Structure 1
Amino acid sequence: MKKHIFSVLFLGLTLGSVSAQTTIQLSSDQSAVKISKHVYGHFAEHLGRCVYDGFYVGEANTTIPHTNGVRNDVIAALKELEIPNLRWPGGCFADTYHWKDGIGPKENRPSIVNNWWGGVTEDNSFGTHDFLNMCELLGTEPYLAGNVGSGEVQELADWVQYVNFQGRSPMSDLRRENGREKPWNVKFWGVGNEAWGCGGNMTAEYYTDIYRKYATFMSDWTNTGGLYRIASGANSADYHWTETLMKNLPKSLVKGVALHHYAVIDWSKKGASVEYTDDQYFQTMKSAWFMNELVEKHSAIMDKYDPKKEVALVVDEWGGWYEVEPGTNPGFLYQQNTMRDAMIAGMTLNIFNNHAERVRMANLAQTINVLQAVILTKGEKMIKTPTFHVMEMYKVHQDATLIPLTLASKQWEKNGESIPAVSASASKSKDGKVHLSIVNIDPTAKQDITVNLGQTYKNVSGRILTTKKLRDFNDFDANNRIVPKAFEDAKLKKDLVQLTLPPFSVVVLELN
Structure 2
Amino acid sequence: MKASITAHKDFTVANIDPRLYGSFIEHLGRAIYTGIYEPDHPSADEQGFRQDVIELIKEIDVPVTRYPGGNFVSSYNWEDGIGPKENRPTRLDLAWHTSENNAVGIHEFANWAEKVGTEMMLAVNLGSRGLDEARSFLEYVNHPGGSYWSDLRKHNGREDPWNVKLWCLGNEMDGPWQIGQKTADEYGRLAFETAKAMRAFDKNIELVVCGSSSPMMDSYPDWESTVLDYTYDTVDYISLHMYFENNSLHMYFENNDSNATHYLAKAEQLEHYIETVAAVIKTTKAKKRSDHDVFISFDEWNVWYHSREQDKAILEGADGWPQAPALLEDIYDFADTLQVACILNTFIRHSDVVKIGCMAQLVNVIAPIMTVEGGPAWRQTIFYPYMYASRYGRGTALNLAVNCERYDTDFATQVPYLDVSCVQSDDDGSLAFFIVNRHASEEIEFDIALEGFEHHTVIEDKVISGYDLSQTNSPQAETVIPQEGTRISLVDQRLNATIEPLSYRMIRLSL
Whole-Å separation in 2 of the counterparts to 1:273 and 1:138: 41
Q: Distance in 2 between matches of 1:416 and 1:422?
A: 18
* Residue 226 to residue 484, structure 1, CA distance change in 2 (3 Å): farther
The 5 Å alignment of 1:112-511 reads: 112-117=91-96, 119-197=97-175, 198-219=178-199, 221=201, 223=202, 225-237=203-215, 238-251=220-233, 253-265=234-246, 278=257, 281-306=260-285, 310-324=293-307, 331=315, 332-371=327-366, 373-379=367-373, 380-412=375-407, 419-430=415-426, 431-455=428-452, 456-461=454-459, 462-479=461-478, 481-511=479-509
Q: CA deviation at 1:121?
A: 1.5
Structure 2 counterpart SS, 1:229: strand
Take 2:283 and 2:309, find their aligned partners in 1: how far apart are those partners? 47
Report the Cα offset of residue 201 of structure 1: 2.7
Give how far 1:291 is off. 0.4
Counterpart Cα distance in 2 of 1:427 and 1:365:
23
Q: 1:220 to 1:392 in 2, by over 3 A?
A: farther
SS of 1:121 mapped into structure 2 = strand
After superposition, the Cα gap between the structure-2 partners of 1:282 and 1:441, relative to the gap in structure 1 and judged at 3 Å, is closer
Deviation for aligned residue 1:500: 1.0
> 1:25 touches 1:405 (CA, 8 Å); kept in 2?
yes
**Corresponding residue pairs, total:** 483
1:291-321 Cα distance to aligned partner (Å, 9 max, x none) = 0111111112212233767211111111111
Question: What's the CA shift string for 1:367-420, capped at 9, x where partnerless?
Answer: 11112x110111211111121111111124443012111122322566897632
Q: Using the alignment, how far apart are the partners of 1:275 and 1:72 within structure 2?
A: 38
Match for residue 322 of structure 2?
Answer: none
- The structure in which a higher percent of residues are helix is 2
Deviations 1:407-457 (A, max 9, x none): 223225668976322211111112111111111133332222111121343
Kindly provide the amino acid, as one letter, of the partner of residue 319 in structure 1.
N
Summarize the Cα distance change of 1:191–1:275 in structure 2 as closer, same or farther, 3 Å threshold.
Answer: farther
C-alpha distance in structure 1 between counterparts of 2:508 and 2:90, whole Å: 51
Q: What is the rounded CA distance, in whole Å, between the counterparts of 1:49 and 1:128 in structure 2?
A: 18
- Give the structure 2 partner of residue 5 of structure 1: none
How far has the Cα of 1:229 moved from its partner?
A: 0.6
Query: Once the two structures are superposed, what CA deviation does each residue of 1:180-232 show, in whole Å capped at 9, x if it has no partner?
Result: 000111111100000101153322122110101111222465x5x43111001
State the AA in 2 paired with 1:155: E
Q: Does the C-alpha gap of structure 1 residues 276 and 216 become closer, same or farther in structure 2, counting only changes over 3 Å?
A: farther
Residue 265 of structure 2 aligns to which amino acid in structure 1? K
Following TM superposition, by how much is the alpha carbon of 1:274 offset from its aligned partner in structure 2, in angstroms?
12
1:83 and 2:65 equivalent? no
Which of the numbers 111, 120, 123 marks the counterpart of 2:90? Answer: 111
Structure 1: gaps spanning 5 or more residues: 1-19
Residues of 2 paired with 1:30 and 1:471: CA distance? 38
Distance 1:366 1:206 in 2: 29
- Quick one: structure 1 residues 447 and 161, their matched pair in 2 at CA, closer, same or farther if it must change by over 3 Å? same
1:84 to 1:339, Cα distance in 2 relative to 1, 3 A? same
Identity %: 29
Query: Considering only aligned residues, what root-mean-square deviation do their CA atoms show, in Å?
Result: 2.4
Assess if the C-alpha contact under 8 Å between 1:422 and 1:440 holds in 2.
yes
User: CA 1:135 to 1:273, structure 2 compared with 1: closer, same or farther past 3 Å?
Assistant: farther
Report what 1:24 is aligned to: 5
Q: CA offset at residue 79 of structure 1?
A: 1.1
* Deviates further, 166-175 or 308-317: 308-317
Residue of 39, 42, 48 corresponding to 2:20: 39
Q: TM-score, normalised by structure 1?
A: 0.88
Q: For residue 471 of structure 1, give the secondary structure of its aligned residue in structure 2.
A: coil
**Residue identity matched to 1:445:** E
Counterpart CA distance in 1 for 2:349 and 2:412 is: 24
- SS of the residue 2:266 aligns to: helix
Which of 48, 65, 88 is the aligned partner of 2:44? 65
**What letter matches 2:451 in structure 1?**
G
Change (3 A) 1:64 1:274: farther
- TM-superposed CA distance for 1:347, in Å, is 0.7
Deviation per CA, 1:460-501, whole angstroms, max 9, x where unpaired? 24111224211111111112x122222232211212111111
Q: Unpaired segments of 5 or more residues in structure 2?
A: 316-326
TM-score, normalization by structure 2: 0.89
CA contact (8 A) 2:122 2:166 kept: yes
Task: Output one character per residue of 1:122-145: Cα deviation in whole Å (capped at 9) or x when no partner.
Answer: 211011101111111111101111
Any idea what SS the aligned residue of 1:66 has? Answer: coil
Pair 326,233 (structure 1): closer, same or farther in 2 beyond 3 Å: closer
How far apart in 2 are the matches of 1:416 and 1:291? Answer: 12
Mapped partners of 1:492, 1:73: distance in 2: 39
Give the secondary-structure state (helix, strand or coil) at the position aligned to 1:130.
Answer: helix
- Residue 467 to residue 107, structure 1, CA distance change in 2 (3 Å): farther
Instruction: Give yes or no for contact 1:274–1:338 (8 Å, CA) kept in 2.
Output: no
Deviation at 1:247, TM superposition (A): 2.7
Q: Residues 471 and 403 of structure 1: is their aligned pair in 2 closer, same or farther, counting only changes over 3 Å?
A: same
Contact persistence 1:36–1:398 (CA under 8 A): no
1:467 and 1:482 in contact (8 A); partners too: no
